Structure 1
Amino acid sequence: MTGPTNLEPKDIQAVLAQYQGDRYVDGWDALWNKGDNLPWDKGFPNPALEDTLVQRRGTIGGPIAEDAQGKSYRRKALVPGCGRGVDVLLLASFGYDAYGLEYSATAVEACKKEEAENSGWYRVRDQTVGRGQVTFVQGDFFSDAWLQQIGVPLNGFDVVYDYTFFCALSPSLRPQWALRHTQLLAPSPTGNLICLEFPRHKDPQSPGPPFPSSSEAYMEHLSHPGEDIAYDNKGVVKHDPLRAPSQSGLERVAYWQPERTHEVGQGEKGVIHDRVSIWRRRN
């Protein structure tokens, strides 16, 4: 690595264009090795996640739970494509055992640096709960090898947070993305996938990443994991209201406009375009 550089969207697109199909994730490794200042990396967690953890605790549950024997344990939270790990550190500050996954070894090192240099910024939210353990791991989201490395089984995560990950992936990987969430998420109602939907306001025909990501796209893919979803010639997902959701799919249990979000999720005069959705396994 030659040192951090400020990467513009066109720079990112040029690099990723060299990595097609299953090699797409290798493009992100190349980007981190080229320079780790991504244009949508704000250096701190999105306030919409913080508000969700506070205001929607009744939906997602708290960081501490009890097993069948009445023994308390910390619930596990995963952030795939965690970037610098800021969301992982926030989840740990709320008391979750938080795991950050990145494909790039350089990104994992950036996460560890963030933890070491800014640990005081992520204050413990509840002293009676304390801070959860933080684990950063290098691996491919679609592979099980990293799960074995950290000792977490399939369907072992109580909370998964997806932000700037769905929109960072090539749209061709979206069916696999949705299927993988069903494999990682704990059974309902314990397991909750939190999606901060972004960028909803981007022209559907615009290049990515970040790729335009409508709420309808999240709905169709998560309701039909592993299945090809049709988009029209304008890049808009074809939503069929008569199409039944897959029994193996996820069900949206909450959906709202957050009160706060990063500026990149806002339009003119601060109008918030981002949405937050929470999903659970149907079975």
Structure 2
Amino acid sequence: MTAPTAIKPEDIQAHLANYKDEKYVDGWASLWEKNDVKLPWDAGFPNPALEDTLVKQRATIGGPMAEDAQGQSYRRKVLVPGCGRGVDVLLLASFGFDAYGLEYSPGAIEACKKEEAENNSWYRVRDQAIGRGKVTFVQGDFFDDAWLQSIGVPPNGFDIIYDYTFFCALSPALRPKWALRHTQLLAPSPKGNLICLEFPRHKNPLAAGPPFPVSSEAYMEHLSHPGEDIPYDAKGLVKQDPLRAPSKSGLERVAYWQPERTHEKGQGENGVIHDRVSIWRRRD
């Protein structure tokens, strides 16, 4: 197989500048269609922070198997929106979850299938008694229901959603919709858990993107008030109002920590880890 073509951040930014507002996702699709790209944050393998979360936070997020009201065992469903090359989807399936990778571009879906065909050792089955979960790569718009219907998953049907480089890849103008959409896809609490690997936290808040700079405060404000416009100040930092109560339809952060391992892109000088992991559940 031919190696994917590395693309520079400034080239991505120049390309996406031609796609405004709701057309932003079309810009990403056309980028993937040009060639088999390798995005600047693509390390070529899953982030070890996700692997550690699946192992060490099982008491919080639950394992891959569960029982329904009739006592029948089933595999829990995980969604990775904006899954890129699909490495996280394949890792999640190796732990036994039925894993769904969503991409807007058919070209990205083809890249996912190439990754799956390589049978990388990262994706070895972790528990032979549980086995591998089903892998499904689906093309569609995160904000639309058509892809949900195509795979037969109802609203609020995902037990886990994993967001790593999706939030930072979206235009900040889409962040209110991003947060609201998670409330429509995530299963009720405590069954449903959104795992956010917050990146890039160490980037200048006024720097261009993607990846757009993020902060833990931005995740807090948007997910606590889904669908609402969240103000940012002149320094690019989110404005927090300590007197404003979180929305009853919003998400609540139930865990937050600095991972012991992460990709090099999430580290600063001397290997200092800037990334954070947060876990969220619906309040209702």
- TM-score tier by shorter-chain length is over 0.9
Deviation at 1:34, TM superposition (A): 2.5
Contact 1:79–1:100 (CA under 8 A) maintained in structure 2: yes
Contact 2:221–2:230 (CA under 8 A) maintained in structure 1: yes
Query: Partners of 2:119 and 2:10 in 1: how far apart?
Result: 30
TM-score of the aligned structures, taking structure 2 as reference length:
0.98
The residue aligned with 1:145 is 146
Query: Does residue 1:43 correspond to 2:50, yes or no?
Result: no
Contact 1:15–1:30 (CA under 8 A) maintained in structure 2: no
Trace 1:248-259 onto structure 2 (pairs within 5 A).
Answer: 248-259=249-260
The residue aligned with 2:216 is 215
Unaligned 5+ segments in structure 1 are: none
The residue aligned with 1:128 is 129
Provide the alpha-carbon RMSD of the alignment.
Answer: 0.9
Query: Partners of 1:171 and 1:112 in 2: how far apart?
Result: 29
The residue aligned with 2:164 is 163
The residue aligned with 1:154 is 155
Deviation at 1:156, TM superposition (A): 0.1
**Secondary structure of the corresponding residue to residue 33 of structure 1:** helix
Query: Partners of 1:214 and 1:125 in 2: how far apart?
Result: 33
The residue aligned with 1:22 is 22
The residue aligned with 2:178 is 177
Q: Deviations over 1:119-156 (max 9, x none)?
A: 55411001111100000000000000000000000000
Query: Partners of 2:168 and 2:126 in 1: how far apart?
Result: 30
The residue aligned with 1:97 is 98
Deviation at 1:31, TM superposition (A): 1.2
The residue aligned with 1:32 is 32
Query: Does residue 1:246 correspond to 2:247, yes or no?
Result: yes
Query: Partners of 1:111 and 1:241 in 2: how far apart?
Result: 42
The residue aligned with 2:6 is 6
Could you tell which deviates more after superposition, 24-33 or 97-106?
24-33
**Secondary structure of the corresponding residue to residue 197 of structure 2:** strand
- Matched residues, number: 281
Query: Partners of 2:63 and 2:145 in 1: how far apart?
Result: 27
Unaligned 5+ segments in structure 2 are: none
**Secondary structure of the corresponding residue to residue 196 of structure 1:** strand
Counterpart code for 1:74: R
Could you tell which deviates more after superposition, 106-115 or 35-44?
35-44
After superposition, the Cα gap between the structure-2 partners of 1:269 and 1:119, relative to the gap in structure 1 and judged at 3 Å, is closer
Query: Partners of 1:156 and 1:133 in 2: how far apart?
Result: 16
Contact 1:175–1:228 (CA under 8 A) maintained in structure 2: yes
Query: Partners of 1:6 and 1:67 in 2: how far apart?
Result: 45
The residue aligned with 2:77 is 76
Contact 1:205–1:234 (CA under 8 A) maintained in structure 2: yes
Deviation at 1:4, TM superposition (A): 4.3
Counterpart code for 1:273: H
Counterpart code for 1:76: K
Query: Partners of 1:202 and 1:72 in 2: how far apart?
Result: 44
Deviation at 1:33, TM superposition (A): 1.8
Counterpart code for 2:234: N
Query: Partners of 2:145 and 2:29 in 1: how far apart?
Result: 19
After superposition, the Cα gap between the structure-2 partners of 1:53 and 1:4, relative to the gap in structure 1 and judged at 3 Å, is closer
The residue aligned with 2:281 is 280
Counterpart code for 2:261: R
Contact 2:45–2:122 (CA under 8 A) maintained in structure 1: no
Query: Partners of 1:39 and 1:220 in 2: how far apart?
Result: 27
Query: Partners of 1:92 and 1:270 in 2: how far apart?
Result: 29
Query: Partners of 2:120 and 2:4 in 1: how far apart?
Result: 22
Trace 1:101-120 onto structure 2 (pairs within 5 A).
Answer: 101-120=102-121
Counterpart code for 1:104: S
Counterpart code for 1:179: L
Could you tell which deviates more after superposition, 109-118 or 191-200?
109-118
Query: Partners of 1:6 and 1:153 in 2: how far apart?
Result: 37
**Secondary structure of the corresponding residue to residue 195 of structure 1:** strand
Contact 2:91–2:122 (CA under 8 A) maintained in structure 1: no
The residue aligned with 2:203 is 202
